[in-house]
Amino acid sequence: MIITMAHGSGGAFTSELIDKIFVKEFDNETVKELEDCAVIPGSKKIAMTTDSFVVKPIEYPGGDIGRLCICGTVNDLLMRGAKAKYITCGFIIEEGANSETLKRIVHSMAETAKEAGVIIVAGDTKVIDGNGGIMINTAGVGFVEEGLDISSRNLTPGDLVILSGNLGDHHATILGSRMNITNSIKSDNAPLTDIVSNLLKEKINIHTMRDVTRGGLATVLTELSRSSRVDIKLEEDKIPVSNAVRDFCGLLGLDPLYMGNEGKCIIVVPKNEAGKALEVIRNSKYGENAVIIGEVKEMAEDKACVYIETEIGGKRILDVLQDEGLPRIC
Amino acid sequence: MIITMAHGSGGAFTSELIDKIFVKEFDNETVKELEDCAVIPGSKKIAMTTDSFVVKPIEYPGGDIGRLCICGTVNDLLMRGAKAKYITCGFIIEEGANSETLKRIVHSMAETAKEAGVIIVAGDTKVIDGNGGIMINTAGVGFVEEGLDISSRNLTPGDLVILSGNLGDHHATILGSRMNITNSIKSDNAPLTDIVSNLLKEKINIHTMRDVTRGGLATVLTELSRSSRVDIKLEEDKIPVSNAVRDFCGLLGLDPLYMGNEGKCIIVVPKNEAGKALEVIRNSKYGENAVIIGEVKEMAEDKACVYIETEIGGKRILDVLQDEGLPRIC
Amino acid sequence: MAEIDVKKYVEFLQKYDGEELRLMEVCGSHTAAISKSGIKKIISPKIKLISGPGCPVCVSPSAFVDKLIELGRDGAHIVCFGDMMRIPGKESSLNEEKGKGLKVDYVYSPMDILPMAKENPEINYIFACVGFETTIPVYTLLLDAIIRDDIKNIKLLTALKTMPEAIDFLCANDAKIDGFIAPGHVSVITGTKAFYEVSNKYKVPMAVTGFSPKELVVGIYALTKTCINKDSFLKSGKSLVGNYYKSVVLDEGNTKAKDNINKYFKKGDAIWRGMGNIKNSGLYLKVEYSKYDAGSFDLIEDYKINKACRCSDVLMGKISSKECPLFKKYCSPLTPQGACMVSSEGSCYQAFKNGD
Amino acid sequence: MAEIDVKKYVEFLQKYDGEELRLMEVCGSHTAAISKSGIKKIISPKIKLISGPGCPVCVSPSAFVDKLIELGRDGAHIVCFGDMMRIPGKESSLNEEKGKGLKVDYVYSPMDILPMAKENPEINYIFACVGFETTIPVYTLLLDAIIRDDIKNIKLLTALKTMPEAIDFLCANDAKIDGFIAPGHVSVITGTKAFYEVSNKYKVPMAVTGFSPKELVVGIYALTKTCINKDSFLKSGKSLVGNYYKSVVLDEGNTKAKDNINKYFKKGDAIWRGMGNIKNSGLYLKVEYSKYDAGSFDLIEDYKINKACRCSDVLMGKISSKECPLFKKYCSPLTPQGACMVSSEGSCYQAFKNGD
Amino acid sequence: MCVAIPGVITQINDNNTATVDFNGNLVNAATGLVDVSIGDNVLVHAGCIIQKVSKSEAEEILDIFKEIEELS
Amino acid sequence: MCVAIPGVITQINDNNTATVDFNGNLVNAATGLVDVSIGDNVLVHAGCIIQKVSKSEAEEILDIFKEIEELS
Ligand code: SF4
Ligand code: SF4
Ligand SMILES: [Mg+2]
Ligand SMILES: [Mg+2]
Ligand SMILES: [Mg+2]
Ligand SMILES: [Mg+2]
Ligand SMILES: [Mg+2]
Ligand SMILES: [Mg+2]
Ligand SMILES: [Mg+2]
Ligand SMILES: [Mg+2]
Ligand SMILES: [Mg+2]
Ligand SMILES: [Mg+2]
């Protein structure tokens, strides 16, 4: 079936779409009620976030926009130490979209939600002029335990910076299909639930976590260093990048440090807990390749900075991503 | 400034947009933290909803997409008896959009949020190919008091149905600008906070509330009648429609019963509370023109239905909106 | 009509207990107005209101849609009325093709194409001209403007139909109709006289009727009375065609509009979806204006989506929508199996929506 | 280069305490590679690394962008490298115009335009051809394919430039450069010999250099040594041009590529943004191929966005980006006031991004 | 698509149109089919005036009905 | 835009291109500027092979450096 403007009218066509595709996949009591608003158990302290996903193509090696839109929002919740609980999803569908594709995407959302331990409690569908594209917004609510304070302001000199795995896979996957470069790189899109819940279970004193998405490691670390007013020194040869991604970047003049990921995070912990944290992460799903990539330092000048000592002993100062003229990857 | 793909890169351009436009307007402690996820006080029972807004034009007589996206989500929360608290917003901006327009929209969001008593705690911005359009998803969280049960399943024979005001203004406004018909009709987009909080304050035993949006009164009531397995009888001459909207519909072959609204709701209460409820609503902001339009009846046949007795004594059975081939209005 | 108290006519129609009367409306707006009024639920079961081929969009054959899609794929921008978007061609509709990149816009008035064409001289525009006598004069005004302003990038694809010939066809083909609710807005243009010939030929009563619930009561009452008293009418030489919409319908209709039609268009055979070819029931641009035509001749294919669809019987008044085996089971506005379910003026659509 | 231990060369460059040396790289990739390597932070302050006009995108004059926009507005689809999108014309950029409806696509390779043009024969495509000697041969292969497959809907808008003439211009205009880090990839095509003439004319040392940090150390070390020992070199008749990128750079370069360039293009004057006209520094399609040209001649306007911008001095090596009064104050990648801040290979952009 | 409803002419424009007011909704309707003046009640279909609306309807119809009654 | 990096030719194609492998990234690069065979290390710029890469670089450079040292 081809989706047309009528499917966004709010009438019978919309109901058909909701019943046959969404409710069927997001099979839970709340969604089945088909209220305009879900009423669900809460918690004393909650976390809340949102992201829209406009990636093209919507299906790519290793994942699809359905998996992505769950991972993106769940990971943002996890990064503040929240237990991710509820997801809302807003679909913006361009007329001409195929309902079979939509079904696959929605199925993937449902599967990923299960993996991440969240339930989808509310949704919305709009159809707009266009050529068959699908965009999804997800918002998420998580529960935060009292006393937990994980934020970008908590970096402390002496802390070590752990990166949960290789850089650039998601970005290279999306860009490869856009640029017609064949390779076997797969998106890393994944919910980081296991890593975070294991760290919390082991009572690791996490200062800061951040998923390394749009803008890449350099942007994320620069933002953190500015929030906490510290420097971060990275060791270039520790930063894990697959050979395929490295050469992919070489071909297009890109830098893995600025490439987006959708299943990677940095975790900053006090030096004396870093060993244990690393072990916990490595034993968690999607954390197998975690490494310590750097150290938090006192701010040396009047502006916080992230830097790398290069192989010839030079000092390369990183900054946030400027414009790299790339297509959308999330 | 013209917004280009670079503003969605997640780097410096995106930060610029966020700082100069969003954070400035959504001036609150949580948003200023610029975390990927807000951590905020919660409640034992919460309500959660989402809607995306793709209305064109984005600025129209009586409102704009900024006001609309707050009202739409706030009203969905209110309709379950929740106190609307937090809003997240996901902007999908087409390249070519003008930052001055965006500023106005965002300002309008901020003003409407204030009016509705909600705070905007998290946001996201994506830029996509296109021609200057702006789409916004909002998700909302509200707090629900224990014991409150307002849902579409609670219609009871004998209940009276109150409509909070005139039908069709928003829809006619949007369509008028699309169809080049000049008139002075203005969108009714408004947060129904005052109506609902006054009803709750007065301890009115609300069975069901529903905002009358896409699909119009006929669709909303038909859905409710099916959820509760009751009939609803409407009195045609009670249903308030302005002359301008009535003739506007006449011109285009539309039916006010199927026209969308963005600041109207139906409130269903037991017959003995209807008088007081009506008074409370009429004394609330945006409820001045409220009227009792019908009554809930036992289901007469095996299928729930909503019907009107026409001026000649005929019985017109309403159904959900089929496809009316209209442009998007929300 | 406010001054007429229709209560006693309603009562008459309720209590009617004479021979079964089958009354057909042949105007889509009547179909919709009858549904909305709920009148079917209150009149005697002996008066059956039947919907005929009154929706000009529904009766366009699949070939017309296919041709629009073909023109669009060749780069033209299609402009049409909103209802046209969902009508199925052989494999697709304008709505579906729009999602695949076809340029399609819908407008309130055909005249709205003029500013579009002037603003984008490099784009070729096609107006999808459907309609009966009510709408055809509008196209003549469009042609006036195109010629006056020498606009080179608008063409018309036409599937224009005329009502008296359709009624003649129904009568000639055993439609078993006792009387016709004659189309109010068509009559504004044609005048009541246009129906005299067919009414005389088949001795069939006709009532030109308005669209409000009260006007419907008046028209149906008058038609019923005329049917009952047909013999007296005939004997007295009184015409069986009555005009109950006098505020806008004249015996001669709108002569200026009729002249305009004759200036640009000539009669020809036309395919009605589900009904086949009806002789002389179409209007086509005259040879001297053929440069404004986008290929409207020979659009004869009328592809049937579902073999079991009984649209043709519905349109001919032989069965009601409910009697079609597909109605509400396989056929709904979401999954239309025939033309009558597609446009919001189609008889099956109206039957579905208003629970007739 | 893995086998060379560069430690002692780094040490040499650190400890250098001779006369101040001003070494200029004239290749955008070198600008980026030098920034990334952090080498400026470790070598002696007496060795100044200066960025020249090495970004082919940045040096295209505003008229080139304006012409692309004009062609796009006339209905053509513009295809370009990603960096081209943000370069400002007089009033707008391709990026901004894209948001207003201009059709612009960026690609990895100019050859990617071929399938696009074959799939959409009704659309006219324009490739925005910028580049030095490295990229120009790619356009000759594109032309080969266009001619071989008789493709009628691709044209080139060119702003092609050649390096030796630019270096000559710098030397002739008082740029005060002691030595040039010669562009590695340009040299792959031109060969080292292409630089002999200008090096001899101005007695200026040049080192053809690769792009890894180690290769940079080797090249800069060699260039420094050559500068110090210039007199001995000259006395001994040894060329001041050294090749330290031997894995891909030959003395003769790529003769096949050079032949191809000569087949399609002829030399002519060219405007370099911020620098003005450099005699014979441009390449233009020959008359016999002019049907593939979209109007590349006379694109001479070079609109200056901000009068205070010192791009021209930066490009000429007369000041570093930091010395421009607008740098980091009014001029940033978000609000570029000059060409050097626009492309990611621009010297001000690199200085901004890597905190030089 | 066959909607036609009555409005009042409030202005005659240059370009062969008149402004027709439908309870505050203003439509520029083509005048080519009917001679109209300001104040006329007119029937508009798809952006064209197709007829003037006269007011003396009810009585005429009641007269016809009387005739019919007499016939029966 | 001036990126050029080395890869290995894994296949020669009909349409004047060769498949060049960059650690698993396969690019169809035009062959018109260089005669190539499978297994060649080549430099690719903007989708075109612009040169073969030879391997014996280090020694040559050290030789040059020796010469330069001798000059100084
Ligand atoms: S219900 Fe559907 S299938 Fe049956 S006659 Fe009507 S349109 Fe045809
Ligand atoms: S910093 Fe900006 S204004 Fe100054 S020279 Fe560079 S580009 Fe021009
Ligand atoms: Mg987020
Ligand atoms: Mg995220
Ligand atoms: Mg994040
Ligand atoms: Mg919704
Ligand atoms: Mg489209
Ligand atoms: Mg909602
Ligand atoms: Mg809503
Ligand atoms: Mg709602
Ligand atoms: Mg985000
Ligand atoms: Mg665009």
By CB atoms closer than 10 A (0-12, 13-18, 19+), residue C19 is exposed
Delimit the CATH 3.30.1330.10 region(s) of chain B: 5-143
- Residue A9 CA to ligand 1 centre (angstroms): 23
- Which pLDDT belongs to residue D1? 53
Q: Is residue D159 domain-shared with residue D186, that is, in the same domain? A: no
- Which pLDDT belongs to residue A290? 98
How far apart, in whole angstroms, are the C-alpha atoms of residue A151 and residue B34?
A: 10
- Residue B84 CA to ligand 11 centre (angstroms): 23
Q: Is residue D76 domain-shared with residue D157, that is, in the same domain? A: yes
Q: How far is A58 from chain F (nearest CA, A)?
A: 21
The answer to whether residue A223 scores a pLDDT higher than 90 is yes
How far apart, in whole angstroms, are the C-alpha atoms of residue C222 and residue E65?
A: 7
Q: Is residue C71 domain-shared with residue C49, that is, in the same domain? A: no
Maximum pairwise Cα distance, chain C: 65
Average confidence score pLDDT of chain B: 93
Maximum pairwise Cα distance, chain A: 67
| Contacts C82 to B, Cβ<8 Å | 325-326
* A311 pLDDT tier (thresholds 50, 70, 90): confident
How far apart, in whole angstroms, are the C-alpha atoms of residue C75 and residue C126?
A: 10
Which 3 state secondary structure label does DSSP give D162? coil
Residue B132, phi-psi category: left (phi > 0), alpha (psi -120 to 50), beta (remainder):
left
How far apart, in whole angstroms, are the C-alpha atoms of residue A81 and residue C308?
A: 61
How far apart, in whole angstroms, are the C-alpha atoms of residue D326 and residue C84?
A: 59
CATH topology of domain A160-318: Phosphoribosyl-aminoimidazole Synthetase; Chain A, domain 2 (3.90.650)
* Residue of chain F nearest A180, judged by CA positions: F27
Give the residue among D20, D4, D183, F60 at the shortest CA–CA distance from A312: D4
Give the residue among B199, C269, B43, C189 at the shortest CA–CA distance from A39: B43
- Which pLDDT belongs to residue B266? 98
Instruction: Count the neighbouring beta carbons within 10 Å of the beta carbon of residue D314.
Output: 29
SS (H, E, C) chain C: CCCCCCHHHHHHHHHCCCCCEEEEECCHHHHHHHHHHCHHHCCCCCEEEEECCCCCCCCCCHHHHHHHHHHHHCCCEEEECHHHHHCCCCCCCHHHHHHCCCCEEECCCHHHHHHHHHHCCCCCEEEEEEECCCCHHHHHHHHHHHHHCCCCCEEEEEEEECHHHHHHHHHHCCCCCCEEEECHHHHHHHCHHHHHHHHHHHCCCEEECCCCHHHHHHHHHHHHHHHHCHHHHHHHCCCCEEECCCCCCCCCCCHHHHHHHHHHEEEEEEEECCCEEEEEEEEEECHHHHHHECCCCCCCCCCCCCCCCCHHHHHCCCCCHHHCCCECCCEECCECCCHHHCCCCCHHHHHHHCCC
Delimit the CATH 3.90.650.10 region(s) of chain A: 160-318
* A324 pLDDT tier (thresholds 50, 70, 90): low
Q: Does A176 touch chain F (CB under 8 A)?
A: yes
Q: Quick: pLDDT tens for F28-69.
A: 999 999 999 999 999 999 999 999 999 767 778 888 888 888
Which 3 state secondary structure label does DSSP give B46? strand
CA angle B197, B202, B206 (to 5 degrees): 75
Give the residue among D80, D33, D233 at the shortest CA–CA distance from A250: D33
CATH match for B5-143 among 3.30.1330.10, 2.60.40.10, 2.60.120.1440, 3.40.50.620: 3.30.1330.10
- Which pLDDT belongs to residue D355? 64
How far apart, in whole angstroms, are the C-alpha atoms of residue E29 and residue D35?
A: 67
Q: Quick: pLDDT tens for A15-50.
A: 888 888 998 899 888 888 878 899 999 999 999 999
CB B175 within 8 A of CB B326: yes
Tell whether omega for the bond before A57 is within 30 degrees of 0, i.e. cis. Answer: yes
Q: Is residue D91 domain-shared with residue D137, that is, in the same domain? A: yes
CB A98 within 8 A of CB A1: yes
Nearest atom in ligand 1 to the alpha carbon of residue C348 is: 6
C51 vs B199, more confident: B199
Q: Is residue D203 domain-shared with residue D279, that is, in the same domain? A: no
Residue A62, phi-psi category: left (phi > 0), alpha (psi -120 to 50), beta (remainder):
left
**Substitution target from D26, D149, D161, D246 for chain F, most F beta carbons within 10 A:** D246
The answer to whether residue D6 scores a pLDDT higher than 80 is yes
How far apart, in whole angstroms, are the C-alpha atoms of residue C351 and residue D5?
A: 88
Q: What percentage of chain D exceeds 90 in pLDDT?
A: 72
How far apart, in whole angstroms, are the C-alpha atoms of residue C329 and residue F15?
A: 56
Read off the amino acid at residue C74: D
Q: Does F53 touch chain A (CB under 8 A)?
A: no
DSSP A112-136: HHHHHT-EEEEEEEEEESSSS-EEE
Number of Cα atoms under 13 Å in the Cβ half of residue A35:
30
The answer to whether residue D2 scores a pLDDT higher than 70 is no
How far apart, in whole angstroms, are the C-alpha atoms of residue B161 and residue B221?
A: 10
Q: Is residue D159 domain-shared with residue D287, that is, in the same domain? A: yes
Average confidence score pLDDT of chain D: 92
Q: Is residue C176 domain-shared with residue C211, that is, in the same domain? A: yes
CB D262 within 8 A of CB D143: no
Q: Does D189 touch chain F (CB under 8 A)?
A: yes
How far apart, in whole angstroms, are the C-alpha atoms of residue B37 and residue A141?
A: 9
CB E22 within 8 A of CB B247: yes
Point out the least confidently predicted range of A3-12, B114-123, C242-251, D288-297.
A3-12
* Residue of chain A nearest F8, judged by CA positions: A247
- Which pLDDT belongs to residue C1? 53
The answer to whether residue A95 scores a pLDDT higher than 80 is yes
Please give chain C's pLDDT, 356 residues, in tens: 557 889 999 999 999 999 999 999 999 889 889 988 999 989 999 999 988 888 888 899 999 999 999 999 988 999 999 888 888 899 999 988 998 889 999 898 999 999 999 998 889 999 999 999 999 999 999 999 999 999 999 999 999 999 999 999 999 988 889 999 999 999 999 999 999 999 999 999 999 999 999 999 999 999 999 999 999 999 999 999 999 999 999 999 999 999 999 999 999 999 998 889 999 999 999 999 999 999 999 899 999 888 899 988 888 888 889 999 999 999 988 788 887 887 777 888 888 876 65
* C317 close to ligand 1 (CB < 6 Angstrom): no
How far apart, in whole angstroms, are the C-alpha atoms of residue B130 and residue F60?
A: 54
Q: Is residue D189 domain-shared with residue D260, that is, in the same domain? A: no
Which 3 state secondary structure label does DSSP give B306? strand
> Does D159 fall in a domain?
yes
pLDDT mean over A105-122: 97
- Which pLDDT belongs to residue E2? 66
F4-71 belongs to CATH 3.40.50.720:
no
Q: Does B256 touch chain E (CB under 8 A)?
A: no
* D327 close to ligand 2 (CB < 6 Angstrom): yes
Point out the least confidently predicted range of B96-105, C80-89, C177-186, E53-62.
E53-62
Q: Is residue D144 domain-shared with residue D184, that is, in the same domain? A: no
Q: Which of residues 106-165 of D touch F (CB under 8 A)?
A: 108-112, 130-132, 134-135, 137-138, 140-141, 144-145
> Does C303 fall in a domain?
no
* E4 pLDDT tier (thresholds 50, 70, 90): confident
Q: How far is C17 from chain E (nearest CA, A)?
A: 16
How far apart, in whole angstroms, are the C-alpha atoms of residue B279 and residue B267?
A: 13
How far apart, in whole angstroms, are the C-alpha atoms of residue D54 and residue D24?
A: 10
What is the extent of the structural domain holding C207? Answer: 7-56+164-243
Q: ipTM score of the complex?
A: 0.91
Residue with tokens 């003005």: D276
Instruction: Count the neighbouring beta carbons within 10 Å of the beta carbon of residue A2.
Output: 18
Q: How far is F14 from chain D (nearest CA, A)?
A: 13
Q: Is residue C41 domain-shared with residue C103, that is, in the same domain? A: no
pLDDT mean over A87-108: 96
How far apart, in whole angstroms, are the C-alpha atoms of residue B119 and residue B83?
A: 12
The answer to whether residue A325 scores a pLDDT higher than 70 is no
How far apart, in whole angstroms, are the C-alpha atoms of residue A8 and residue B132?
A: 21
* D341 close to ligand 2 (CB < 6 Angstrom): yes
CB B313 within 8 A of CB B39: no
The answer to whether residue A328 scores a pLDDT higher than 70 is no
By CB atoms closer than 10 A (0-12, 13-18, 19+), residue A282 is middle
| Contacts A54 to B, Cβ<8 Å | 92, 126, 128
Q: Quick: pLDDT tens for D297-354.
A: 989 999 988 889 998 888 888 888 999 999 999 998 878 888 788 777 788 888 887 6
Local structure of residue B66 (DSSP, 8 states)? H
**Substitution target from A17, A36, A74 for chain B, most B beta carbons within 10 A:** A36
How far apart, in whole angstroms, are the C-alpha atoms of residue A261 and residue A71?
A: 11
Give the count of domains, chain D. Answer: 3
Q: Indicate the pairing of strand B38-53 with strand D77-80.
A: unpaired
- Which pLDDT belongs to residue B168? 97
Substitution site in C51, C341, C350 for ligand 1 pocket (most atoms within 8 Å of beta carbon): C341
How far apart, in whole angstroms, are the C-alpha atoms of residue D31 and residue D344?
A: 10
| Contacts A43 to B, Cβ<8 Å | 42, 44
A187 vs B330, more confident: A187
Q: Quick: pLDDT tens for A249-277.
A: 988 888 999 999 999 999 999 999 999 99
**Substitution target from C80, C96, C105, C331 for chain A, most A beta carbons within 10 A:** C96
Nearest CB neighbour to D95, from listed B4, B94, B130 = B4
Give CA separation, F5 vs A250, D108, D116, in Å: 7, 13, 26
How far apart, in whole angstroms, are the C-alpha atoms of residue A305 and residue A292?
A: 18
Instruction: Count the neighbouring beta carbons within 10 Å of the beta carbon of residue D241.
Output: 24
Radius of gyration of chain D (CA): 20
Return all residues near D236 (Cβ < 8 A) that are at least 6 apart: F71
Read off the amino acid at residue D26: V
Q: How far is C325 from chain B (nearest CA, A)?
A: 20
The answer to whether residue D168 scores a pLDDT higher than 60 is yes
Tell whether omega for the bond before C164 is within 30 degrees of 0, i.e. cis. Answer: no
Q: Is residue D107 domain-shared with residue D129, that is, in the same domain? A: yes
- Residue D330 CA to ligand 2 centre (angstroms): 9
Q: How far is B99 from chain A (nearest CA, A)?
A: 18
> Does C300 fall in a domain?
no
Q: Does B128 touch chain A (CB under 8 A)?
A: yes
The answer to whether residue A321 scores a pLDDT higher than 90 is no
Substitution site in C31, C275, C311 for ligand 1 pocket (most atoms within 8 Å of beta carbon): C311
* C340 close to ligand 1 (CB < 6 Angstrom): yes
How far apart, in whole angstroms, are the C-alpha atoms of residue D288 and residue B179?
A: 53
* D77 pLDDT tier (thresholds 50, 70, 90): very high
How far apart, in whole angstroms, are the C-alpha atoms of residue D94 and residue D337?
A: 17
